[in-house]
């Protein structure tokens, strides 16, 4: 087990849930935490639009994922494993998961816990997942203490997402090549998952996957709700967050529909626990709906509205969890990088 932690550190493996925290440090924190009985949670919730790599990994690479789970469980000496799984993936792959997990020696040690269908984006946040599994309210927890110290049922808990544990399986077999999965969305129908180098720029990814459009476009990177919006001159950077790239036709997209989609998503997804997010998402949507001029001039007025600026600042600095903090990212970057406001 000591050898695997060295391998993970040498591979510079980071979590693929969006935070990019070094995997070996998280594992060591749980292994060294005081108290008997520890838990492992595999986060396969995937609640943000535009991201669907977990299902692809479960379908195509279940043996590697299962191996990574077994190694993580053995390292922290987990007494129980919870596979916190998106309901769509549960319907499709539950039998395969049970078969493969049993094959690597996890029979009787794991439970597939289906993420509630109405839990949305916030249901995938790791401390919210703890509450849901415990039967508590659908809302995130105050941190510290962190799950590594006091997690599920008050015990030290390791929470890794599907891609992270898949990578552990590769590292253990000396097959890890610093690659990651990218969910690419183009138009309303065409989408795909690609397994490519982590060092590629957005532009290189689109070119290598034959997804670089011939028309003028812009992209949203990291997730279709919380991701940053970039123009064609800003594509010489690596993909952030959960690894999605969504392409929008610059001339054919509808600005008001897109902004409404972002704001509506966050307003509907807010758990209501903290005032900045509960009130902030509602008031942002209200300000947007009150824009009289449905054109660039109207959007410029919104962007320069002091109430809008104050709400975005409050959401960034005061929200209880990542949901509220990420609300301004898409719309503000869209105003700046696409509309040049």
Band (pLDDT 50/70/90 cuts) for residue 118 is confident
Mean predicted confidence (pLDDT) in 59-82: 98
CB contact at 8 A, 104 and 70: yes
CB contact at 8 A, 198 and 178: yes
**Percent of the chain at pLDDT exceeding 90:** 82
Q: Which phi and psi angles does 326 have, rounded to 5°?
A: -90, -5
Last residue of a domain, one of 202, 221, 249: 249
Tell whether 38 and 126 lie within a shared domain: yes
Residue 153 DSSP label: G
Tell whether 204 and 261 lie within a shared domain: no
Q: The domain spanning residue 106 has which CATH number?
A: 3.40.50.11540
Q: Is the pLDDT of residue 155 over 70?
A: yes
Q: Is the pLDDT of residue 302 over 60?
A: yes
pLDDT at residue 152 in the model: 97
Tell whether 124 and 53 lie within a shared domain: yes
Tell whether 208 and 164 lie within a shared domain: no
| Tokens 């962190």 found at | 146
pLDDT at residue 206 in the model: 95
Q: Is the pLDDT of residue 1 over 80?
A: no
The side-by-side arrangement of strands in the sheet containing 78-85 is 110-114, 78-85, 38-44, 157-161
pLDDT at residue 156 in the model: 97
CB contact at 8 A, 36 and 42: no
Least confident of 165-169, 290-294, 330-334: 290-294
Long-range contacts of 308-311, Cβ-Cβ distance < 8 Å, separation of 24 or more: 308/284, 311/280, 311/283, 311/284, 311/287
Provide the domain count of the chain. Answer: 3
Least confident of 53-57, 148-152, 318-322: 318-322
**CA-to-CA separations, 25 to 15, 22, 127, 157, 229, in angstroms, rounded:** 11, 6, 18, 13, 31
Tell whether 161 and 205 lie within a shared domain: no
pLDDT at residue 120 in the model: 82
pLDDT at residue 214 in the model: 93
Higher pLDDT: 186 or 148? It is 148
Tell whether 141 and 14 lie within a shared domain: yes
- Per the document, the length of the chain is 341
pLDDT at residue 333 in the model: 96
The helix or strand, by DSSP H or E, that contains position 110, with its residue range, turns out to be strand 110-114
Mean predicted confidence (pLDDT) in 110-117: 95
Mean predicted confidence (pLDDT) in 253-272: 93
The helix or strand, by DSSP H or E, that contains position 160, with its residue range, turns out to be strand 157-161
Q: Is the pLDDT of residue 52 over 60?
A: yes
Higher pLDDT: 163 or 276? It is 163
pLDDT at residue 69 in the model: 98
Tell whether 68 and 142 lie within a shared domain: yes
> The tokens of 161 are what?
């997402």
Band (pLDDT 50/70/90 cuts) for residue 295 is confident
pLDDT at residue 301 in the model: 92
CA distance 7 to 27: 13
Last residue of a domain, one of 193, 221, 249: 249
- Render pLDDT for 89-103 as a digit per residue (tens, 0 to 9): 999 999 999 999 999
> The tokens of 114 are what?
């289906």
CA distance 143 to 297: 42
CA–chain centroid gap for 286, Å, is 27
Tell whether 159 and 82 lie within a shared domain: yes
Q: Is the pLDDT of residue 27 over 80?
A: yes
Mean predicted confidence (pLDDT) in 105-109: 96
* Mean pLDDT of the chain, nearest integer: 93
Q: Is the pLDDT of residue 252 over 90?
A: yes
pTM of the model: 0.93
Tell whether 36 and 184 lie within a shared domain: no
Q: Is the pLDDT of residue 157 over 70?
A: yes
**288: cis peptide before it, omega within 30°?**
no
> The tokens of 285 are what?
């949507």
Last residue of a domain, one of 144, 172, 200: 172
Tell whether 309 and 204 lie within a shared domain: no
Domain that holds residue 72: 2-172
Q: The domain spanning residue 229 has which CATH number?
A: 3.10.20.600
**CA-to-CA separations, 293 to 14, 219, 300, 311, 333, in angstroms, rounded:** 45, 25, 10, 21, 21
Tell whether 214 and 279 lie within a shared domain: no
Q: Is the pLDDT of residue 2 over 60?
A: no
| Tokens 């379908």 found at | 59
CA distance 274 to 74: 37
> The tokens of 326 are what?
């990420």
> The tokens of 174 are what?
């000396």
Band (pLDDT 50/70/90 cuts) for residue 189 is low
Q: The domain spanning residue 278 has which CATH number?
A: 1.20.1440.230
Mean predicted confidence (pLDDT) in 66-87: 97
pLDDT at residue 309 in the model: 93
CB contact at 8 A, 78 and 115: no
Tell whether 147 and 278 lie within a shared domain: no
């Amino acid at each position: 087990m000591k050898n695997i932690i060295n391998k993970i550190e040498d591979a510079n493996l980071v979590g693929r849930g969006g935070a990019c925290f070094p995997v070996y440090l998280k594992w060591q924190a749980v292994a060294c935490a005081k108290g008997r009985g520890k838990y492992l949670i595999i986060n396969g919730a995937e609640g943000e639009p535009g991201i669907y790599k977990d299902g692809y990994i479960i379908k195509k690479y279940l043996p590697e994922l299962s191996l990574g789970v077994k190694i993580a469980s053995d390292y922290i000496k987990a007494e129980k494993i919870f596979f916190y799984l998106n309901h769509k993936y549960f319907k499709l792959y539950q039998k395969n998961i049970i078969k493969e997990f049993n094959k690597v020696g996890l029979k009787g040690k794991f439970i597939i816990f289906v993420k509630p269908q109405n839990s949305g984006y916030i249901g995938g946040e790791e401390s919210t997942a703890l509450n849901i599994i415990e039967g508590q309210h659908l809302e995130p927890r105050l941190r510290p203490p962190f799950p590594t110290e006091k997690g599920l049922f008050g015990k030290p808990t390791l929470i890794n997402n599907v891609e992270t544990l898949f990578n552990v399986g590769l590292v253990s077999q000396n097959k890890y090549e610093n690659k990651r999965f990218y969910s690419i969305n183009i138009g309303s129908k065409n989408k795909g998952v690609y397994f490519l180098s982590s060092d590629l720029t957005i532009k290189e990814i689109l070119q290598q996957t034959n997804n670089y459009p011939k028309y003028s476009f812009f992209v949203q990177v990291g997730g279709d709700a919380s991701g940053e919006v970039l123009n064609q001159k800003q594509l010489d950077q690596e993909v952030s967050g959960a690894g999605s790239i969504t392409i929008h036709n610059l001339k054919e997209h509808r600005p008001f529909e897109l902004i409404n989609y972002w704001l509506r998503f966050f307003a509907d997804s807010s758990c209501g626990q903290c005032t900045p997010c509960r009130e902030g998402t509602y008031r942002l949507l209200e300000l947007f709906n009150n824009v009289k001029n449905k054109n660039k001039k109207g959007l410029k007025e919104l962007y320069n509205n002091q109430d809008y600026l104050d709400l975005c600042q409050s959401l960034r600095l005061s929200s209880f969890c990542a949901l509220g903090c990420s609300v301004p990212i898409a719309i503000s970057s869209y105003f700046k990088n696409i509309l040049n406001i």
